[in-house]
């Protein structure tokens, strides 16, 4: 399975749209496969967060028009932020604006402080999972209902009656959906029912393999074939796929990944998560040792994140990885062992 290199940003820490556009355009020029951003309304840690948060889907709508090839998505949108019908409409529109380059990461929401700061209801965890389940059902239902037919849904938290289920996204049958976390039961079950990828945030190598097994078992229980190799590494997040993966990826950029985004993201790095989180990042890198070990678990690639240490390492990966090779081919990873 080919290797993918992707970028991930945390703009709630302090970034303008122009900052994000510069990163996305440079990532596209370098041949990176996708640009992902978090979906948060409040900074984390002891920094100003200036000039303040940016809305994820407004940002991605702008990037849809201001970029040409790179895929665009969220890791992840909180189900507490938006109603499922308007969310389905917004993502479908951004998919159309981008020519079919969008991926939707959707989660239950966890950061209570940002809800309090901006007047967003934050129910208990059990209800948030119920709402996430219903949102996934509604979003996928609206997108996959044939044109000319109607969609209805009767849930505990959301009810839809006789919807025309429009607009449709460009990607058929729908844009890829990403669900993830460290949960051992509810989250993998939701991913197996609805998602195309499972995202494990900030994993260490020893912890990732057992979680892959949990997701594979959930896929089997849901009647999905988990036989194909699992996943890719996005930033410091592992992603697992249930096969078949029905969404065709954009062709990889033919130019080598010769540089990475250090100078462009320096303003974001200066507002990043702080020394404690940098230490955690370094621990992750020490545990990973080399992308080859992740490849042996079935990963399909790696991405850049907004810390100086991670950017230096991913520059090394970008310069030494032959992205045309299968991730299981050890010869692809011989040079990256020093990264």
- The whole-number average pLDDT for the span 243-254 is 34
Residue 211: is its pLDDT beyond 70?
Answer: yes
Distance of CA 64 to the CA centre of its chain: 16
The pLDDT value recorded for residue 262 is 33
Residue predicted with more confidence, 283 or 48 = 48
Band (pLDDT 50/70/90 cuts) for residue 4 is: low
- Gap between the Cα atoms of 288 and 188, Å rounded: 23
Q: Which of 89, 3, 15 is nearest to 51 (CA)?
A: 15
For residue range 12-47, list pLDDT tens digits in order: 988 889 888 988 887 788 777 888 999 999 999 888
> The tokens 């992750």 sit on which residue?
284
The pLDDT value recorded for residue 306 is 37
Q: Which of 4, 7, 32 is nearest to 19 (CA)?
A: 7
> The tokens 């042996």 sit on which residue?
296
| Spatial contact of 229 and 215, defined as CB atoms under 8 Å apart | no
Residue 313: is its pLDDT beyond 60?
Answer: no
Q: Coil, helix or strand for 261?
A: coil
* 251 to 25, 151, 324: CA distances (angstroms): 17, 34, 11
| Spatial contact of 81 and 57, defined as CB atoms under 8 Å apart | no
Q: Which of 107, 106, 78, 231 is nearest to 175 (CA)?
A: 106
Q: Coil, helix or strand for 2?
A: strand
The string of DSSP codes covering 93-141 is HHHHHHTS-EEEEEE----HHHHHHTT-----HHHHHHHHHHHHHHHHH
Residue 135: is its pLDDT beyond 90?
Answer: yes
Residue predicted with more confidence, 234 or 133 = 133
**Mean predicted lDDT score pLDDT of the chain:** 74
- Gap between the Cα atoms of 252 and 5, Å rounded: 10
Give the DSSP H or E segment for 272. none
Residues paired with 303 in a beta bridge: 6
Q: Which CATH architecture is the domain 4-107+169-338 placed in? A: Alpha-Beta Barrel (3.20)
The string of DSSP codes covering 172-205 is SS---EEEE-S-SSHHHHHHHHH-SEEEEES--H
- Gap between the Cα atoms of 63 and 97, Å rounded: 9
Q: Select, from the ranges 143-152, 251-260, 304-313, the one with the highest average predicted confidence (pLDDT).
A: 143-152
b vs e for 98-133, b when ≥16 Cβ sit within 10 Å of the residue's Cβ? Answer: bebbbbbbbbbbebeebbeeeeeebeeeeebbbbbb
The pLDDT value recorded for residue 204 is 67
- The whole-number average pLDDT for the span 236-251 is 39
């Amino acid at each position: 399975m080919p290797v993918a290199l992707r970028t991930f940003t945390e703009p709630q820490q302090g970034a303008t749209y122009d900052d994000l556009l510069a990163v996305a355009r440079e990532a596209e020029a370098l041949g990176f496969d996708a640009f992902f951003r978090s979906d948060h309304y409040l900074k984390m840690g002891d920094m100003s967060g200036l000039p303040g948060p940016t809305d994820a889907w407004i940002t991605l709508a702008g990037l849809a028009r201001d970029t040409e090839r790179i895929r665009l998505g969220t890791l992840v949108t909180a189900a507490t932020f938006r109603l499922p019908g308007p969310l389905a409409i917004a993502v479908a529109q951004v998919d159309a604006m981008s020519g079919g380059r969008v991926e939707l990461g959707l989660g239950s929401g966890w950061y209570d402080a940002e809800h309090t700061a901006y007047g967003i209801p934050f129910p208990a965890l059990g209800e948030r999972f119920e709402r996430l389940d219903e949102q996934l059902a509604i979003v996928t239902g609206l997108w996959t209902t044939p044109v000319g037919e109607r969609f209805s849904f009767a849930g505990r938290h959301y009810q839809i009656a006789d919807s025309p289920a429009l607009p449709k996204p460009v990607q058929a049958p729908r844009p890829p959906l990403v669900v993830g976390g460290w949960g051992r039961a509810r989250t993998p079950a939701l991913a197996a029912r609805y998602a195309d990828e499972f995202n494990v945030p900030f994993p260490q190598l020893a912890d990732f393999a057992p979680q892959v097994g949990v997701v594979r078992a959930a896929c089997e229980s849901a009647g999905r074939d988990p036989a194909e190799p699992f996943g890719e590494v996005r930033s410091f997040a592992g992603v697992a796929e249930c096969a078949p993966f029905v969404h065709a990826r954009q062709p990889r950029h033919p130019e080598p990944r010769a540089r990475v985004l250090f100078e462009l993201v320096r303003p974001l790095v200066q507002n990043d998560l702080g020394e404690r989180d940098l230490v955690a990042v370094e621990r992750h890198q020490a545990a990973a040792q080399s992308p080859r070990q992740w490849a042996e678990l079935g990963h399909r690639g790696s991405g850049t994140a907004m810390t100086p240490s991670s950017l230096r390492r991913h520059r090394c990966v970008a310069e030494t990885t032959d992205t045309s090779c299968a991730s299981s081919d050890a010869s692809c990873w011989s040079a990256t062992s020093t990264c």
